[in-house]
Amino acid sequence: MEILLFIAVAVASYYLMSFLQTILHRDFGHRRRIQPVFEAHAIGHHGQYNGNQLRTERFIDLDSHALNYYGIPIVVFAVLVWLVAGPLIMTAHLLGVFVTFRLNIFLHKHYHLIDTPFERFAWFRRKRELHFIHHRDARYNFAVIEFWIDDLLGTKKELPHGLQ
């Protein structure tokens, strides 16, 4: 029974963190609320990967240090989980958080690469094109993987019919 609870907490934490990441991306990566995050992401990353050049031979990482700002709410929430539910549940929660970040960073990097082994998968090409909509018009598609979150937030812009 403990293993099922562990898995359930890890999965729930993945989706919770995906939701939070999407909101933080929208509210801090594209608004001048925390200047270093805005500059690194909206100016740095979006400046490098703009509508004219969305893919490169090698990924150019201009905003990974902005991820440090995500650590503040993660640490606070992890401590609260530990206080309320104990170390096992906190470990499951942190596993879900870790998977969210690693998977988002990994796929995001591959979205911007010209030569990626994921090119052969339709799901990857679709998610990449949804992401590129965001680079062409930063009012839409703030999620990196879970674009249903943009549906909930009213910020999703679908692909043209020919690309779906």
The string of DSSP codes covering 73-130 is HHHHHHHHHHHHH-HHHHHHHHHHHHHHHHHHHHHHHHHTBSS-GGGG-HHHHHHHHH
Asked whether residue 43 carries a pLDDT value surpassing 80, the answer given is: yes
**pLDDT value for 71:** 80
Please report, rounded to a whole number, the percentage of residues in the chain having pLDDT higher than 90.
Answer: 68
pLDDT of residue 140: 97
Which domain covers residue 37, as residue numbers?
Answer: 2-163
Read off the pLDDT of residues 64-93 as tens digits, 9 standing for 90 and up.
Answer: 666 677 788 888 889 999 999 999 999 999
Residue 63 above 90 pLDDT?
A: no
* Average pLDDT, integer, range 37-63: 83
Q: Work out how many domains the chain is built from and give that number.
A: 1
Q: What is the pTM of this model?
A: 0.89
